[in-house]
Amino acid sequence: MAKATAALLDTNILIYLYRAYDPNLAAKIATERVAINRIIMVEALGWSNITADEETYLLDICKQADIFELTEAVFGQAIAIRKLKGIALPDALIAATAIEYKAVLWTANSADFAGIPNLKLLNPFA
C-alpha cells in the first residue's frame, strides 16, 4: 500500500543516491512513496557532468517515481514563494510542488528552503 504522503526528492538527493553519498540513503528512500516533478528531472538529467551510467540510473528512478505536474496552483504558489523569499525559480517551483501536493521535500539543502510557510522539509543526512 502506498503512503498517503510522498517524498518529493530534490535534485541533490537523486545525485547523492547515485553517487552513494550516504550508504543508508537508498534504504531510507525504499520505504517511501517517491515523487519528482519535471523541474527536478531537467535539473538531474541536464546536469553538465552526467555520465551515461548516471543518466540511465536517473531515468530509471524517474520512471518509477510519481510525477507531480506543474499545475496553475503550483505556479501560483511559486510566485508567492518568490515574492516572499526571492529564491531561484527552480527551487520555488520545487517547493511549491511539495506544498501543493502535500509532500515532504527531501533535500540536502534545507537552508535554501527555510522559512517557506507550509513547506515540510526533511534532510535525510541530518
Q: Does domain 6-122 have CATH number 3.90.105.10?
A: no
Domain boundaries, the chain: 6-122
Q: Cell 524517474: give the residue.
A: 62
pTM above 0.75, yes or no: yes
Report pLDDT for 4.
55
Report pLDDT for 2.
42
Q: Which residues of the chain have pLDDT under 50?
A: 1-3
Question: pLDDT tens for residues 78-95?
Answer: 999 999 999 999 999 999
